[in-house]
């Protein structure tokens, strides 16, 4: 069991949403959570299938968790009849679902927030109704709470205390939203002290439970979310119920940490992130997205060379927290880590203020994800890159910038004709087949991902021309190597290797004849070193970077090589082509070679063997795809 006994998750579901509830139940099992709070209102129960729905939901939860039912009443009741209806609602819920419930939170208060309930007839009616509701719950042998959501309810709690009801309940349920301004350990102790003093005045020994809390800062502020969670967990209360959407979603950093290591993992990362930016007068190499696959390898190389490295990453992609832990474990305090998002302009500016070189890798990296949420894709890739460029434009001495773009800026290579050559596609144009795609190829942004990365690509080049930034763009083909946690949406070479090594099936989109040039990450790092070394001659230019014509594979050819390595053929199935998938793409690397002397050195066979050995020594982390929990495991398009 991961969590301690004080912890639980708060959830609310639309009646009839079985799929969402089944996911939630599955998350509870993965998290090891044994306490859950479920909210239901009169309208939920009276909906077309409300009774059958809650019967199913409570039964599904009862065998896995201790259920706290929050019975939502009128927020601002104006008439005594509201109180009578609420008592009837409580009694009906207890009659229907009592066997599945261990505790009940009575959530109702009289009158507008500014009205003193002691002077309001509705307040007297509601306090009497609450006494009846408490009795109904106690008659069933269940623990009972009343809500004391925020300071404006203190007058209501004072009335209940004066009537002796606070001595009849087991706990007060506090619900509040933690904002960025309230982080730092001050919010919960202050509020809890207020309620404890009120209880003491009325001779109540009721416990205090945080029955629903979550972080209300910016959506992309993962650091604030982790800190708010830890502060709630450390609050001097008997139980904590965190909002389920944040705690259980594997696509969120908090949910992923809780699934893999529980609150201890959240504490560990919060401590690492709390160190923030450190300045000591020396220049620092800043790597955005530095806990990703390429960033981790680059950071390790720079640190080995004795350079200071600062990583700015929001750890959104599965596996990044494992990479960060490996880096900090190996290099200790020489690694600076900033848990932040490229959309946070203040964090980007602060992290780059003393940079001597910047490597911009942070991005939304999957075509499939961009198809699901194009706005998010642009916000991260387009606006995030522009935030960085603006920070550099304001810099008194802008450092060199290396930006990793993508071959997707060339689209589907419109107008190029392809033919089958065995188990792979090849262009019918002999020169193109011999050398690959060069930088004179017209841009043709395709898919939201191609558009957002293409826009960022062009912004970097324009800021070099217009504002004199020393910036270079590398339009990369398929990179592979250690510290890559590929999934069905991105990182196809690593994904194939992982599936084959574990004996799992692979699903291919298209016919498997798609061809890419592949480049081992060590060769890419050497290209990056040379790009920075030659920045004054390369600035304002874009270069195609990949394995080139000598290092190409089709999907089916990779399957064959993995069969040779494992001694068994993976189980393969096929599905329809994905939108924007290129039949063939190979980088013409001659222009960069002529400018720097760079050439790939790692052969495909040797690179695959290196990747295989690394994967054999590393457990696979949880990696969420664009189609979360869709049953699409193992599906790949390059």
- In a domain, residue 505? The reply is yes
Q: How many CB atoms lie within 10 A of CB 626?
A: 20
- Domain hosting residue 148, numbered range: 7-270
Question: In the structure, what pLDDT confidence band is assigned to residue 303 with cuts at 50, 70 and 90?
Answer: very high
- In a domain, residue 547? The reply is yes
- In a domain, residue 289? The reply is no
pLDDT of res. 141: 95
pLDDT at 12 over 50: yes
Kindly state the tokens that stand for 301. Answer: 């190389």
Q: Are residues 263 and 412 in the same domain?
A: no
| CATH number where 556 lies | 3.40.50.720
Which of 484, 223, 252, 184 has its CA nearest to residue 337? Answer: 223
pLDDT of res. 422: 85
Give the domain-ending residue among 240, 270, 300. Answer: 270
Phi, psi of 175 (to 5 degrees): -130, 125
Q: Are strands 35-41 and 7-11 parallel, antiparallel or unpaired?
A: parallel
Q: What is the mean pLDDT of the chain?
A: 87
Q: Are residues 266 and 408 in the same domain?
A: no
- In a domain, residue 214? The reply is yes
Give the domain-ending residue among 226, 243, 270. Answer: 270
What's the CA gap between 540 and 92, in Å, rounded?
71
Question: In the structure, what pLDDT confidence band is assigned to residue 625 with cuts at 50, 70 and 90?
Answer: very low
Q: Are strands 284-288 and 309-313 parallel, antiparallel or unpaired?
A: parallel
- In a domain, residue 115? The reply is yes
pLDDT of res. 220: 86
- The total domain count for the chain is 2
Catalytic residues: 449
| CATH number where 13 lies | 3.20.20.80
pLDDT of res. 113: 44
- In a domain, residue 27? The reply is yes
Q: Are strands 584-585 and 515-520 parallel, antiparallel or unpaired?
A: parallel
**pLDDT tens for each residue of 383-417:** 999 999 999 999 999 999 999 999 999 998 989 99
- Torsion sign, CA atoms 426, 428, 413, 596: positive
pLDDT of res. 634: 34
Q: Name which of 160-164, 623-627, 634-638 the model is least confident about.
A: 634-638
What's the CA gap between 9 and 155, in Å, rounded?
29
**pLDDT tens for each residue of 311-348:** 999 998 888 999 999 999 999 989 999 999 999 999 99
Question: In the structure, what pLDDT confidence band is assigned to residue 540 with cuts at 50, 70 and 90?
Answer: very high
Q: What percent of the chain has pLDDT over 90?
A: 58
Question: In the structure, what pLDDT confidence band is assigned to residue 80 with cuts at 50, 70 and 90?
Answer: low
pLDDT at 543 over 90: yes
- In a domain, residue 296? The reply is no
Mean pLDDT of 404-433: 93
pLDDT of res. 271: 84
Q: Which residues contact 121 (CB under 8 A, 6 or more apart)?
A: 80
pLDDT of res. 153: 63
Give the domain-ending residue among 232, 254, 270. Answer: 270
pLDDT at 535 over 50: yes
Mean pLDDT of 354-381: 93
**pLDDT tens for each residue of 584-621:** 999 999 999 999 999 999 999 999 999 999 988 876 66
pLDDT of res. 25: 87
pLDDT at 4 over 70: no
- In a domain, residue 466? The reply is yes
Q: Name which of 120-129, 135-144, 395-404, 517-526 the model is least confident about.
A: 120-129
Q: What percent of the chain has pLDDT over 70?
A: 88
**pLDDT tens for each residue of 251-285:** 788 888 888 888 888 999 988 887 767 776 678 99
**pLDDT tens for each residue of 172-181:** 998 767 776 6
Mean pLDDT of 363-387: 93
């Amino acid at each position: 069991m991961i969590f301690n006994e004080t912890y639980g998750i708060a959830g609310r579901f639309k009646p009839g949403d079985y799929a969402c509830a089944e996911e939630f139940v599955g998350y509870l099992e993965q998290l090891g959570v044994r306490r859950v709070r479920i909210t239901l209102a009169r309208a939920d129960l009276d909906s077309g299938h409300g009774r059958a729905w809650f019967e199913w939901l409570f039964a599904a939860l009862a065998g896995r968790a201790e259920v706290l039912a929050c019975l939502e009443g009128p927020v601002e009741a104006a008439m005594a009849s509201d109180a009578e209806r609420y008592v009837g609602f409580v009694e009906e819920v207890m009659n229907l679902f009592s066997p599945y419930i261990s505790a009940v939170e009575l959530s109702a208060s009289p009158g507008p927030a500014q009205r003193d309930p002691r002077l309001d007839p509705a307040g007297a009616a509601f306090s009497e109704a609450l006494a009846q509701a408490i009795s109904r719950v106690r008659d069933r042998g269940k623990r009972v709470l009343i809500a004391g959501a925020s300071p404006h309810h203190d007058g209501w709690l004072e009335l209940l205390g004066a009537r002796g009801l606070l001595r009849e309940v087991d706990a007060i349920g506090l619900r509040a939203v933690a904002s960025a301004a309230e982080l730092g350990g001050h919010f919960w102790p202050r509020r809890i002290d207020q309620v404890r003093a009120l209880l003491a005045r009325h001779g109540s020994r009721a416990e205090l439970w945080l029955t629903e809390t979550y972080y209300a800062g910016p959506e992309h502020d993962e650091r604030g979310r982790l800190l708010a969670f830890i502060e709630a967990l450390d609050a001097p209360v008997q139980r904590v119920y965190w909002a389920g959407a944040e705690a259980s979603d594997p696509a969120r950093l908090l949910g992923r940490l809780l699934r893999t290591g529980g609150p201890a993992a959240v504490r560990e990362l919060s401590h690492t992130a709390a160190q923030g930016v450190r300045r000591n007068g020396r220049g620092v190499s800043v790597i955005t997205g530095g806990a990703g696959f390429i960033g981790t390898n680059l950071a390790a190389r720079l640190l080995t060379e004795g350079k200071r490295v600062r990583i700015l990453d929001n750890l959104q992609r599965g596996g990044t927290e494992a990479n960060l832990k490996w880096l900090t474990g190996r290099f200790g305090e020489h690694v600076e880590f900033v848990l932040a998002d490229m959309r946070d302009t203040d964090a980007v500016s602060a992290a780059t203020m003393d940079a001597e070189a910047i490597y911009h890798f942070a991005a939304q990296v999957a075509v499939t994800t961009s198809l699901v949420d194009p706005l998010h894709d642009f916000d991260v890739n387009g606006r995030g890159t522009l935030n960085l460029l603006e920070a550099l434009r304001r810099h008194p001495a802008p450092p060199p910038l290396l930006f990793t773009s993508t071959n997707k800026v060339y689209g589907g290579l419109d107008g190029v004709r392809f033919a089958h050559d065995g188990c792979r596609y090849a262009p019918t144009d002999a020169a193109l087949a011999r050398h690959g795609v060069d930088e004179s190829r017209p841009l043709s942004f395709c898919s939201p991902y191609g558009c957002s990365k293409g826009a960022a690509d062009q912004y970097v080049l324009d800021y070099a021309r217009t504002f004199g930034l020393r910036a270079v763009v590398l339009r990369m083909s398929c990179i592979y190597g250690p510290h890559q946690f590929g999934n069905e949406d991105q990182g196809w070479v690593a994904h194939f290797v992982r599936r084959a090594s574990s004996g799992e099936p692979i699903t291919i989109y298209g016919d498997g004849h798609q061809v890419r040039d592949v480049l081992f990450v060590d060769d890419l790092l050497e290209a990056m070193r040379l790009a920075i070394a030659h920045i004054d001659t390369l600035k304002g230019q874009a270069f195609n970077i990949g394995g080139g014509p000598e290092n190409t594979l089709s999907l089916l050819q990779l399957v064959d090589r993995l069969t040779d390595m494992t001694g068994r053929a993976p189980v393969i199935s096929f599905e329809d082509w994905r939108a924007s998938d290129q039949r063939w793409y190979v980088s013409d690397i001659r222009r960069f070679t002529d400018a720097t002397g760079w050439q790939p050195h790692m052969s495909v066979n040797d690179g695959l063997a290196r990747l295989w050995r690394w994967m054999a020594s590393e457990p696979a982390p949880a990696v969420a795809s664009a189609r979360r929990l869709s049953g699409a495991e193992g599906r790949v398009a390059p």
